[in-house]
A = this chain, B = another copy of it.
Amino acid sequence: MPATPNLTIGIIGAGRIGGLHAENLTARVRAARVAAVADVDLPTAQRLAARLGIPLATRDHHEVLQDPAVQAVAICSATDTHLRLIEEAVAHGKHIFCEKPLGLEVDGIKAAVGAAERAGVKLQVGFNRRFDPSFARAREIVAAGKVGDVHLVRITSRDPAPPPPEYVRASGGLLLDMAVHDFDMVRFLTGREAEEVYATGRALFDPGIAAAGDVDTCVTTLKLEGGALATIDNSRKAVYGYDQRIEVFGSAGMVAVGNPGADSHVFLDAEGARSAKPLHFFLERYRESYVAEMQAFVDCVLRDEPPPVTGEDGLVSVLLGKAATQSLKEGRPVRVGVG
């Protein structure tokens, strides 16, 4: 029996999301092995390596990139390192999975995406929500024509608690940090580009966010090519947990995805019915999506197929976030210049 071809992967960044990808690649993703992990905090890398039996742990990501056995890297480090690491990985001929966002500057993103394309290495961006089984099923239903012509898209996307103000300042704000996922989701669900965006928001409850000049509550309306409309509402703080719902409505029907509960019990007494809150946050809600996105990355490299989420997808979501931010500031609809 010939050996199954495995993809050998190095992890750059051993924090929460890097650790999660390492666990999934070790235990649940088929045809993959993790050969090395790098983190600027060496003990963090070492602990992860010890726990999962990863041969190499290092402080210096160049060791990972220079390892000829490593065929691909998963970039899970701080956002402001993404573009530089992509360029370095391209230079070493490694295929790349990169957490989102690629960056906040359009020119830099274009340069990195272009470099990967020219070098012929795969570049997949970590829009993990596309791999959520329910959202993926919704996309299948839309793509199969079962909702007919798309007329309306509704997305609710609310975090359980706001990030610290310093994060908000660095992140580009709610529309580039949170809503960027939702802009990608609109594109994913409909297969359509947005032509115009109108965002209106307020800092209703978080003084730190207000001081940073950002909003904590926002409604965004998109006009899509062909005429469909999308409305997205975002909040930095849903006390009941992570709220992630989508809906696509068209001439032949509607598909909607609600929040899976943290468990499925119902308790009934003289006061009424009680049941569980939604799964608390992204690690719980998107547990399976992280497995599936990494499986898709491994498969696309091994089969030499295009990645299911491209650098272009990463770029467009940032363009939308920037147009929405401009609309928010200027109080008027803004045309989107999709390149």
Contact = CB atoms under 8 A, between A and B. Distances in A.
Interface in A283-337: 331-333
B240 A151 contact: no
Contacts of A183: none
A201 B229 contact: yes
Given A200-B221, A229-B200, A332-B332, A239 B251 contact: yes
Query: How many copies are assembled?
Result: 4
Given A219-B229, A240-B253, A253-B270, A235 B26 contact: no
A265 B151 contact: no
A44 to B, nearest CB: 13
Interface in A235-278: 235, 237-240, 243, 249, 251-278
Interface in A205-230: 205, 217-219, 221, 223, 227-229
A154 interface: yes
A260 B253 contact: no
A111 interface: no
Contact of A272 (B24, B51, B276): B276
Interface stretch (A69-77, A131-139, A174-182): A131-139
A277 B267 contact: no
Contacts of A198: 198, 200, 221
A124 interface: no
Contact of A134 (B52, B237, B256, B265): B265
A148 to B, nearest CB: 8
A149 interface: yes
A88 interface: no
A63 interface: no
Nearest to A23: B27
A84 interface: no
A291 to B, nearest CB: 11
A134 B239 contact: no
Interface string A148-183: 110110101010000000000000000000000000
21 contacts: A137-B265, A138-B265, A147-B267, A151-B205, A154-B154, A202-B229, A217-B227, A218-B229, A219-B221, A231-B231, A238-B254, A243-B254, A253-B268, A254-B269, A255-B267, A257-B265, A258-B266, A260-B264, A268-B278, A270-B277, A274-B275
